[in-house]
Structure 1
Amino acid sequence: MTDTLGLDRGLAQLSGLAPKGYALGLHIRFASAHLMIQTYDPRWSEIYTERGYMLADPMVFWGFGNDGAIRWSEIDLPDPHGILDQAAGFGLQYGVAVACGPTSSRTIGGFARGDREFNESEIAEITSIVLRLHEASTPPEQLTPAQRMALRLIARGHRHAEAAALLGISESAFKARLRAAREGLFVRTTAEAIQRAQEYKLL
């Protein structure tokens, strides 16, 4: 079950520890993250996305093959596109990569500052928060039968009132089931909840 409060608190702490921002992909499955948070300079994020750098980023490559934390300056992997040098041009001079979780549900984060290398205690604190966030955002293995049925009815095109009548419950009770499903899947809209539940084979 996703702990929304714990997530918000952890993300706020990471913002304080990484003055030049961070990118954190929680529970990456099939090349897509259950939750992606990005606070780097938006101009750099745009270039990174447009050029598909995630597939060539030495930091991400390190994250899929290692557990723990490493300073960017210590990553000894090819960077043919000069991604780390380009990032430095946007103030991301120094950084640390953190990775954890099984290969099938990996969490990888990059954290940056512009003034100096991260010290050992900062790296330990960032790693501890990332591990906590990984736990707090674990995708659900199942929805309740009531939540599944509510999502199925909406997916089939039923309106709230109609679906509630079919189930013999009030419209507000039906909406509560949808809300619980959205919260459990950590999405904002019911359409996203349906899509994510289908991806996780929960419907």
Structure 2
Amino acid sequence: MNVWREDLLTRLSAAHSATEVFSVIEREGKALGFDHLAYGVRFRYPLSNPRIVLLNNYPEQWQTLYAERGYVKIDPIVMRGMVSQIPIVWSEHYSRASNTFWEEARQFGIAHGWSQSATDCRGLQSLVSFVRGAEYLGSAELTANGARLSFLAHAGHEYMCHQLARDHHAQDSGELTTREIEVLRWTAEGKTAGEISILMGISDRTVNFHAANAMAKLNCANKTATAVKAAILGLLD
């Protein structure tokens, strides 16, 4: 088991994109008897409509049907994963969605699965699912492979979220200067430009100059939004 973990982490560390991380976890899932892999990652920003990224190898027809019918709103696996990090065995949740949902899913080989969610200190939340069309997941299989699936879920979360955060925040890659960070920290504390100028020993105009530069780098409309986004991205730590 230790050798397997070390090998897995080595391959994940060598991955240069979310797609490569997905491929590593997908391969491990297939070795454990699962045909499909699905990842859903929810970012903390924007606050009003958090960004969600979905990656899976489900049949395209099922992906289209799932989106068109808004099944994410009734998917019992998603709903459970949002509130609990306890591993989810799909068969235990068959009665928590309409029969139509499960009947259609089975037509595309989406029948039996194991899922687990994870949330890290950055507030990124993910749900990973290992899925197949045949062979019910029995207690013997879960006992034999449960620890490995859980390790895959958590390791996958760490590397997947790292890659996605890098890719999806590429537009925010402009590095903030020390002065810009200090201005945003005080802004986050509710200080006005005049108060910040006194605290930092600079003019109001210079405070606004640093704030404007930070706004441009983080693609925000005002100082408050810039301070919030910088804090969420961990730029003010």
Alignment TM-score > 0.5, same fold: yes
1:39 to 2:39 alignment:
no
More helix by share: 2
The CA deviation string for residues 125-172 of structure 1, in whole angstroms up to 9 with x for no partner, is 2321221232222436984238xxxxxxxxxxxxxxxxxxxxxxxxxx
Answer yes or no: is the 8 Å Cα contact 2:77–2:93 preserved in 1: yes
The residue aligned with 2:176 is: 145
The unaligned stretches of length 5 or more in structure 2 are: 1-12, 178-217, 221-225
Q: CA 1:117/1:31 → structure 2, altered by over 3 Å: closer, same or farther? A: farther
Answer yes or no: is the 8 Å Cα contact 2:77–2:88 preserved in 1: no
Q: CA 1:113/1:51 → structure 2, altered by over 3 Å: closer, same or farther? A: same
In the alignment, residue 21 of structure 1 is paired with which amino acid? H
> How far apart are 1:11 and its partner, in Å?
1.7
Could you list the structure 1 runs, at least 4 aligned residues long, displaced by more than 4 angstroms after superposition: 6-9, 140-143
> How far apart are 1:88 and its partner, in Å?
0.9
The CA deviation string for residues 99-136 of structure 1, in whole angstroms up to 9 with x for no partner, is 11169532112221122134224443232122123222
Q: CA 1:128/1:6 → structure 2, altered by over 3 Å: closer, same or farther? A: farther
The residue aligned with 1:48 is: 66
Answer yes or no: is the 8 Å Cα contact 1:57–1:79 preserved in 2: yes
Q: CA 1:116/1:81 → structure 2, altered by over 3 Å: closer, same or farther? A: closer
The CA deviation string for residues 52-90 of structure 1, in whole angstroms up to 9 with x for no partner, is 111110010010111031210022662036322321111
Percent identity over paired residues:
20
1:133 to 2:156 alignment:
yes
Distance in 2 (alpha carbons) for counterparts of 1:124 and 1:10: 20
Question: Aligned-pair RMSD on alpha carbons?
Answer: 3.5
In the alignment, residue 5 of structure 1 is paired with which amino acid? H
Distance in 1 (alpha carbons) for counterparts of 2:96 and 2:126: 22
The residue aligned with 2:39 is: 24
1:63 to 2:74 alignment:
no
More strand by share: 1
In the alignment, residue 24 of structure 2 is paired with which amino acid? Q
Q: CA 1:122/1:99 → structure 2, altered by over 3 Å: closer, same or farther? A: same
The within-5 A match list for 1:1-203 is 4-5=15-16, 7-16=18-27, 17-18=29-30, 19-29=34-44, 30-33=49-52, 35-75=53-93, 78-80=96-98, 82-101=100-119, 104-118=123-137, 119-120=141-142, 121-136=144-159, 137-138=161-162, 139=165, 143=173, 144-145=175-176, 201-202=229-230
- Of residues 84-93 and 52-61 in structure 1, the stretch that sits farther from structure 2 once superposed is 84-93
Answer yes or no: is the 8 Å Cα contact 2:113–2:129 preserved in 1: yes
Answer yes or no: is the 8 Å Cα contact 2:94–2:102 preserved in 1: no
The residue aligned with 1:177 is: none
In the alignment, residue 131 of structure 1 is paired with which amino acid? H
Structure of higher CA gyration radius: 2
Q: CA 1:76/1:91 → structure 2, altered by over 3 Å: closer, same or farther? A: closer
Q: CA 1:38/1:105 → structure 2, altered by over 3 Å: closer, same or farther? A: same
Answer yes or no: is the 8 Å Cα contact 1:98–1:109 preserved in 2: yes
Q: CA 1:201/1:24 → structure 2, altered by over 3 Å: closer, same or farther? A: same
The unaligned stretches of length 5 or more in structure 1 are: 147-192
> How far apart are 1:22 and its partner, in Å?
2.3
In the alignment, residue 15 of structure 1 is paired with which amino acid? E
